[in-house]
Amino acid sequence: MFDAFFSGLIQVLMWPAIGYMFIGILLGIWLGAVPGIGGLTGLAILIPFTFDMDPVPAFAMLLGMIAVTNTSDSVTAILLGVPGSSAAQATIMDGHPLAKKGEANRAMGAAFAASAFGGVFGAIALAITMPVALPIILAIGQPETFAFGILGLSLVASLAGSSIYKGLAAGAFGLLLSAVGYAEASAIPRYNFGTDYLLDNLPFLPLILGLFAIPELMELATSNTSISRVQEDQSKSSMWQGVKDTWTHIGLNIRCCIIGVYIGILPGLGGSVADWLAYGHAKQTAKDKSMFGKGDIRGVIGPESCNNAVLGGSLIPTVAFGIPGGAGMAILLGAFLIQGLRPGPEMLTTKLDITFSMVWTVAIANIIVALMMMAWARQVAKLAFTPGYYIVPGVILFVFMGAWLSTTSVGDWVLCIAFGVIGYTMKRAGWARPPVVLGYVLGEIMENAYVISIRAYDGYSWLLRPVTLLIFAGAVLTVVLSARGILKMKKAGEVMEEGAEEGSMRNSVLSFPFAILLSITFLYAIAGSFEWTKSVRMFPLTIAIPGAIFTLIALFYDWKSLRRDVAFAGGLKPAARAASEKAELTPSLWFFAMLIAMLLVMLLVGIKIAIPLYVVVFLMSWGKVGWRPALIYAGVCYAFLVGFYDQVLHTSWHPSLLYDLLDGALPDWLPEWLIL
pLDDT in tens, 138-150: 566 778 778 877 7
> Phi/psi at 165 (nearest 5 deg)?
-60, -40
**What does the pLDDT average to over 636-643?**
87
Percent of the chain residues past pLDDT 90, beyond the cut: 8
CA–CA gap between residue 506 and residue 284 (Å, rounded): 31
Contact (Cβ atoms closer than 8 angstroms) between residue 458 and residue 136: no
Return left, alpha or beta for 89; rule: phi > 0 is left, psi -120 to 50 is alpha, else beta. alpha
Contact (Cβ atoms closer than 8 angstroms) between residue 259 and residue 308: no
Contact (Cβ atoms closer than 8 angstroms) between residue 398 and residue 45: yes
Residue 231's pLDDT band (boundaries 50, 70, 90)? very low
Residue 468's pLDDT band (boundaries 50, 70, 90)? confident
Q: Which residue has the higher pLDDT, 266 or 292?
A: 292
**What does the pLDDT average to over 275-279?**
69
Most confidently modeled range among 46-50, 350-354, 545-549, 644-648: 545-549
CA–CA gap between residue 20 and residue 32 (Å, rounded): 18
SS3 content of the chain, % helix, strand, coil (to 5): 75, 0, 25
Q: Is 626 in a helix, a strand, or coil?
A: coil
pLDDT at position 665 is: 66
Q: Which residues contact 85 (CB under 8 A, 6 or more apart)?
A: 32, 38, 39, 69, 70, 73, 271
∠ CA 516-519-520, rounded to 5°: 90
pLDDT at 65 over 90: no
> Phi/psi at 181 (nearest 5 deg)?
100, -170
pLDDT at position 25 is: 84
CA–CA gap between residue 35 and residue 85 (Å, rounded): 7
The single-letter DSSP state of residue 496 is P
Contact (Cβ atoms closer than 8 angstroms) between residue 582 and residue 214: no
Q: Which residue has the higher pLDDT, 595 or 118?
A: 595
What dihedral do alpha carbons 324, 326, 331, 334 form, nearest 10°? 0
Percent of the chain residues past pLDDT 70, beyond the cut: 76
pLDDT at position 614 is: 92
pLDDT at position 613 is: 93
List pLDDT tens digits, range 232-265: 444 455 677 777 888 888 888 888 888 777 777 7
Residue 3's pLDDT band (boundaries 50, 70, 90)? confident
The single-letter DSSP state of residue 182 is E
pLDDT at position 498 is: 52
**What does the pLDDT average to over 263-282?**
63
What dihedral do alpha carbons 131, 135, 138, 143 form, nearest 10°? -110
Residue 422's pLDDT band (boundaries 50, 70, 90)? very high
pLDDT at position 36 is: 44
Enumerate the domain spans of the chain.
2-446, 585-674
Residue 225's pLDDT band (boundaries 50, 70, 90)? low
CA–CA gap between residue 307 and residue 281 (Å, rounded): 13
Parallel/antiparallel/unpaired status of strands 189-190 and 181-182: antiparallel
The single-letter DSSP state of residue 287 is S
**What does the pLDDT average to over 556-585?**
85
Q: Which residues contact 310 (CB under 8 A, 6 or more apart)?
A: 70, 87, 122, 260, 261, 263, 264, 270, 271, 274, 325, 326
What is the distance between the terminal CA atoms of the chain, rounded to a whole angstrom? 52
List pLDDT tens digits, range 501-538: 555 677 888 889 999 999 999 999 998 888 888 778 88
List pLDDT tens digits, range 481-496: 666 655 665 555 544 4
The whole-chain average pLDDT of the chain stands at 76
Taking only Cα atoms into account, the Rg of the chain, rounded to an integer number of angstroms, comes to 25
> Phi/psi at 189 (nearest 5 deg)?
-75, 145
Q: Which residue has the higher pLDDT, 139 or 373?
A: 373
pLDDT at position 130 is: 65
List pLDDT tens digits, range 43-62: 777 777 777 788 888 888 88
State the maximum Cα–Cα separation within the chain, in Å, rounded to a whole number. 80
Q: Which residue has the higher pLDDT, 67 or 615?
A: 615
Q: Which of 240, 239, 175 is nearest to 202 (CA)?
A: 175
**What does the pLDDT average to over 369-392?**
65
pLDDT at 409 over 50: yes
**What does the pLDDT average to over 5-24?**
82
pLDDT at position 597 is: 93
CA–CA gap between residue 167 and residue 161 (Å, rounded): 8
SS3 letters for 62-88? Answer: HHHHHHHHHHHHHHHHHHCCCCCCHHH
pLDDT at position 631 is: 93
Q: Which residues contact 288 (CB under 8 A, 6 or more apart)?
A: none
Contact (Cβ atoms closer than 8 angstroms) between residue 637 and residue 611: yes
Residue 230's pLDDT band (boundaries 50, 70, 90)? very low
**What does the pLDDT average to over 117-128?**
79
Residue 284's pLDDT band (boundaries 50, 70, 90)? low
Tell me the CA distances in angstroms from 476 to 469, 479, 491, one per residue in order. Answer: 10, 5, 22
List pLDDT tens digits, range 514-523: 999 999 999 9
pLDDT at 372 over 60: yes
Residue 93's pLDDT band (boundaries 50, 70, 90)? low
Q: Which residue has the higher pLDDT, 638 or 311?
A: 638
Q: Which residues pair with 182 in a beta bridge?
A: 189
Q: How many CB atoms lie within 10 A of CB 445?
A: 22
CA–CA gap between residue 118 and residue 110 (Å, rounded): 12
**Residue 69: half-sphere exposure toward Cβ, Cα within 13 Å:** 30
pLDDT at position 226 is: 39
Q: Which residues pair with 181 in a beta bridge?
A: 190
**What does the pLDDT average to over 99-120?**
77
Residue 500's pLDDT band (boundaries 50, 70, 90)? very low
pLDDT at 327 over 70: no
Burial of 557 (0-12, 13-18, 19+ CB in 10 A): middle
Tell me the CA distances in angstroms from 78 to 83, 237, 299, one per residue in order. Answer: 8, 14, 11
Burial of 100 (0-12, 13-18, 19+ CB in 10 A): middle
Q: Which of 29, 28, 24 is nearest to 380 (CA)?
A: 29
Dihedral sign from CA coordinates of 48, 49, 54, 60: negative
Where helices occur in 290-433 by DSSP H, the ranges are 298-321, 327-338, 345-348, 352-384, 388-407, 410-429
pLDDT at 552 over 90: yes
Q: Which residue has the higher pLDDT, 345 or 111?
A: 111
**Residue 475: half-sphere exposure toward Cβ, Cα within 13 Å:** 20
pLDDT at position 616 is: 92
Q: How many CB atoms lie within 10 A of CB 661?
A: 10
Q: Is 181 in a helix, a strand, or coil?
A: strand
pLDDT at position 63 is: 83
Q: Which residue has the higher pLDDT, 226 or 436?
A: 436
> Phi/psi at 191 (nearest 5 deg)?
50, 40
DSSP output for 597-617? HHHHHHHHH-HHHHHHHHHHH
Q: Which residue has the higher pLDDT, 570 or 89?
A: 570
pLDDT at position 146 is: 81
Q: Which of 54, 94, 52 is nearest to 77 (CA)?
A: 94
What dihedral do alpha carbons 263, 266, 268, 271 form, nearest 10°? 10
